[in-house]
Amino acid sequence: MKMNHVGLMVGDMDKAVEFYTKALGLRVVMGNTKVQEERKTAIGRMCVAVFGEGFKGFNIAHLVTTDGIGVEMFEMVDRQERHEVDFTRLGIFHFCLQTDDFEGAIARTVQYGGKVRMDIMRYHPEDDSKLAQMVYLEDPFGNLFELYSHSYEETYATDYE
């Protein structure tokens, strides 16, 4: 199994595309596109099945990370207010990106309207040979994401050098 993409709800598509491209370095694959409720196309039928009758349309954009993982963003016509993270709710509550420019990505996150949710933490702080760092951040719409300095395996493996 491979990871293909994650889907995010955003409140302003132009701001979201700017944030994810300029702050985090993702690349646009398909720019801001309007989707209306209809049943003539496969995409139209899929949207009705997922969002229900009367969803009133949305904007969609597709971005991609440097390793090919997609980030699909939705801006619904009937926007919801920015959500607060509900840690009692089951389901996905964040995604994680990895970068070689850890400090720069954090600074750009804030510059483009995101938030830093915690101090930078080092995994295995007792072992100076393992320098994996992480931090939780938030995009301008309240979506949580984690930032890693090292790969998932390097971060959690007990025997990597």
Span 36-72, pLDDT tens digits: 888 898 888 888 888 888 878 899 999 999 999 999 9
pLDDT tens column, 104-139: 999 999 999 999 999 998 876 676 666 888 999 999
| pTM (two decimals) | 0.85
Q: What is the mean pLDDT of the chain?
A: 87
Domain residue spans of the chain: 1-78, 92-161
pLDDT of residue 158: 62
- The span from the CA of 8 to the CA of 71, in Å, is 7
User: Would you say the CATH fold of 92-161 matches that of 1-78?
Assistant: no
| Helices and strands in the chain: count of H runs, count of E runs | 4, 9
CA dihedral (34, 37, 41, 45) in degrees, to 10, reads 130
The string over 11-22, giving b where at least 16 C-beta atoms fall within 10 Å of a residue's C-beta and e elsewhere, is: bebebbbebbee
pLDDT tens column, 67-89: 999 999 999 887 665 556 677 77
**What homologous superfamily is domain 92-161 in, according to CATH?**
2,3-Dihydroxybiphenyl 1,2-Dioxygenase, domain 1 (3.10.180.10)
Fold of 1-78: 3.30.720
Location of structure tokens 């690349």: 27
